[in-house]
Amino acid sequence: MLINTVVLLLRNGLPIVIMVTLLLLMVQSYQLYRLKVAWLGTLLLSLFIIFWVIHYVDNIAQFYHGIALELLFSSFYIAIYLVVLLCLYITCFKATKININYLYMLIFLLIFSLNGSRFFIYLTGFWLQSQLQVSLLIGALLGLGICISIGILMYFMLLFTQKKYQQPFVLLLVLLFACGQLNQAVDLLSQVDFLPSYEALWNTSSLLSEDSELGYFFTALLGYEATPSILHFIIYFSALIIPLSGYYFTNRQQESLKQDL
């Protein structure tokens, strides 16, 4: 039970911690302080969404032929990808008409609500059936400790990389994270027959199992899949290559326009 809870927290807590770490590297500290009330509001709204989902989860799960929960969660994953893309566009092209801080808050809201809801849905399931509530609490604390430690390590490793490479590397990690979220949506939509399922292209479970600690980390950070189907492959690389090539070509066009001017 203790190990199960630790694993559960690693699986759902790591995406939140990784995204918060990357956001902390992108957000200016004075802006974080200036908008502290808005951030607190975002946190409270996320907690409210988690509470709402947990409270009505068995009813939500029955809607639309019993697949509404998957549709809800996959729409969250897709929304995360789209908002991250918008953030990257604003950061790369200095499009300041939209306040990027509110987009960061939206990303946090989506990730925290989604993973928090998934975590508490599973945890309440365990809680209802287990006589070992103390083990659950200890497991949750241990998992939380591991997640926060990983986040702190990652933050300082990225902070101490060379200034020249730090921002592009962080932005690339954010894009890879968003692609990974899209992969999660593919899994959920395949499960409810909104997307076709295919045989796995390869199996790297023997090299790096998805159920290992490192597997959880890479699944959360990069969307690692030990047995990806052709659909995972196409969607992941399209989601990665289209924005990168869009950035490259738009940059080139802007350069040529500047030269013309």
Partner 1 sequence: MINFLAKRILKLQVSNINRLVTYRVGVLKRHITTLSKISFYLFFACLSITSAWAARPEFIITIKDHLFYPARLVIPENTKVKLVIVNQDNTPEQFDSFDLNREKVIFAGKKSVVYVGPLSAGNYHFFGEYHPNSARGVVIVSNKNSKKEVVNVN
Helix (H) or strand (E) holding 70: helix 68-93
* 214: CB partners within 8 A, 6+ apart: 208
The answer to the question of residue 129 lying near partner 1 (CB under 8 A) is yes
DSSP code for 200: B
Q: Applying CB under 8 A, what is the total number of residues that bind partner 1? A: 29
* 196: CB partners within 8 A, 6+ apart: 190, 231
Residue 109 or 239: the one with the smaller Cβ distance to partner 1 is 239
Taking CB under 8 A as the rule, which mask of x and - marks residues 133-172 in contact with partner 1? ----------------------------------------
40 alpha carbon, distance to own chain's centre: 20
Q: Evaluate whether 137 touches 2 at the Cβ level (below 8 Å).
A: no
Q: Which of residues 186-215 bind partner 1 (CB under 8 A)?
A: 187, 190-194, 196-197, 199, 211
Residue 45 or 192: the one with the smaller Cβ distance to partner 1 is 192
User: In this structure, what are the phi and psi dihedrals at residue 229, rounded to the nearest 5 degrees?
Assistant: -90, 175
CA pair distance 38, 109, nearest whole angstrom: 11
The answer to the question of residue 128 lying near partner 1 (CB under 8 A) is yes
Work out how close the CB of 16 gets to partner 1 at its nearest, in angstroms, rounded to a whole number.
19
Percent helix, strand, coil in the chain, to 5, is: 80, 0, 20
DSSP code for 97: T
The answer to the question of residue 233 lying near partner 1 (CB under 8 A) is no
Residue 51 or 126: the one with the smaller Cβ distance to partner 1 is 126
Specify the stretch interacting with partner 1 by CB under 8 A; choose among 24-32, 116-124, 139-147, 177-185: 116-124
**Interface contacts to partner 1, rule CB under 8 A:** 57-58, 61-62, 65-67, 70, 121-122, 124-126, 128-129, 187, 190-194, 196-197, 199, 211, 227, 257, 260-261
